[in-house]
Amino acid sequence: MANDGSRDSRGIVQVYTGSGKGKTSAAWGQALRAAGHGWKVAVVRFMKPGASGEVKAAARLAPDISVFGKTSPYDPTVNQRESAVLRQESRENFRRAAELIGSAEYDLIVLDELNIVLHYGFVSEQELFDVLHKRAGHVGVVTTGRYAPQWLLEAADLVTEMVDVKHPSAEGAAARAGIEY
């Protein structure tokens, strides 16, 4: 892709991690901003079931933002490392993400909750390393999720750690449409 003045010719790697709320929201904000500047954006969702507000909004913005990823429910309070279904879906979603990144068709690719997938070992760190290092120079990649591995934090160009200071769920409040999903 040629640099037309609205794009940085070098795609950067961004990581949003930590225990606090806002990782996915920050990544989707980045996707929306990029699409607003004419970038072609893909979002691959890992371990996120259903049509969240972001997915519904992206449908209105197609084809500027495309959403991929078949997922099953994920419960962060349960160790789901042994789930064959989550492992298989994660592997399929990662294959799709690798294809999208390798195609150089997109300017920005968000890998939502990939850090959890790496943490569970559903995708190896080496696989992600290889995909990131083989991508075209203009392709930016964003990963989200708790437990980003140290090598990714060091390799990334931008890292933000969300810290859980206060959240209504601590008082028993249910997740709210438009806020948590």
pLDDT digits (tens, 9 = 90+) for 130-149: 999 999 999 999 999 999 99
Domain at 13-171, CATH class: alpha beta
Average pLDDT over residues 47-69: 91
Alpha carbon distance 46, 129 (integer Å): 18
CB 160 within 8 A of CB 129: no
Q: Tell me the pLDDT of the chain averaged across its residues.
A: 90
Cβ contacts of 76 within 8 Å, gap of 6 or more: 116, 146
For the entire predicted model, the pTM comes to 0.89
pLDDT band at 178; cut points 50, 70, 90: confident
Average pLDDT over residues 89-104: 97
At 24-41, the pLDDT tens digits run 999 999 999 999 999 999
Which structure tokens are listed for 77? 């309070």
pLDDT band at 3; cut points 50, 70, 90: very low
Which range (75-79, 86-90, 169-173) has the least confidence?
75-79
pLDDT at 70: 80
> 67: helix, coil or strand?
strand
